[in-house]
Amino acid sequence: MIKHHPKFEHLQSFVNGELPASIAAGIAIHAEMCPECQNMISQLTEQIAEISFEKEPLRQSVNDNPIEEKLDLDSMIESITASDDVATLQPVYDKSIQFKAHSYTLPQALHNITQGKTAHVGKLSRTRLQLNEGDIRTSLLHIDPGGSVPEHTHNGFELTLLLAGSFSDANGKYVAGDFIMLDNSHNHHPISEHGCLCYTVANDSLHFTKGINKLLNPIGSFIY
């Protein structure tokens, strides 16, 4: 069961179109998997539509001619119904990605995003998603069964959205759909017993905090 969700202010910003594409895509994917947040987004969208409607200025002034307005409306309806052409709905096909022997169906929100080449480090595989957002890097991160990300904190923010499988750290176990937003106040060591696929967004490098893993800090931006 999904336990970790976007904050309310993130959902508001999503509905208002105020988020970077990478974060917005993460919330859209989470909403595909989470009826609770999907319902909240629908309610917020309705509220914003109502507010926008109330702010819309009255179109009819004292000098407006209601007869001309009705004629314009009739003309518009006539032009819409004049054609017998029927719009053909294009079928939606599943799109998948493969990491070694593992194949995953991608969420619809990722279908039209260009993928970079896959890089491998031990039991970690990472494919960048080409959103061209400057310092913000968006990736699909795969952890093989028994794999882990070395213990680290974050020099910026890190969003991890679990798409498939599960992983755990000192704070508990995470399952598909969990939306985890972290910053430099968090220190964790994700371990996946059975393997998992994550959608990740980061605007700075990881900072490894323990033992020999500290030697990885010069390439801390490689994994996420």
Give the mean pLDDT of 103-113. 93
Local confidence band at 25 (pLDDT 50, 70, 90 cut-offs): very high
Could you tell me the CA-to-CA distances from 70 to 62, 64, 66, 76 in Å, in that order? 16, 11, 6, 10
Give the mean pLDDT of 93-101. 88
- The full set of domain ranges for the chain reads 8-81, 96-219
Which ranges of 16-102 would DSSP assign to H, the alpha helix?
A: 21-33, 35-55, 66-81
Output the 3-class SS for 176-223: CCCEEEECCCCCECCEECCCEEEEEEECCCEEECCHHHHHHHHHCCCC
Local confidence band at 87 (pLDDT 50, 70, 90 cut-offs): low
The CATH fold of domain 96-219: Jelly Rolls (2.60.120)
Give the mean pLDDT of 87-94. 68
Local confidence band at 214 (pLDDT 50, 70, 90 cut-offs): very low
CATH class of segment(s) 8-81: mainly alpha
Local confidence band at 121 (pLDDT 50, 70, 90 cut-offs): confident
Tens digit of each residue's pLDDT (9 = 90 or more) over 137-194: 999 999 999 999 888 787 788 999 999 999 999 889 999 999 999 887 778 889 999 9
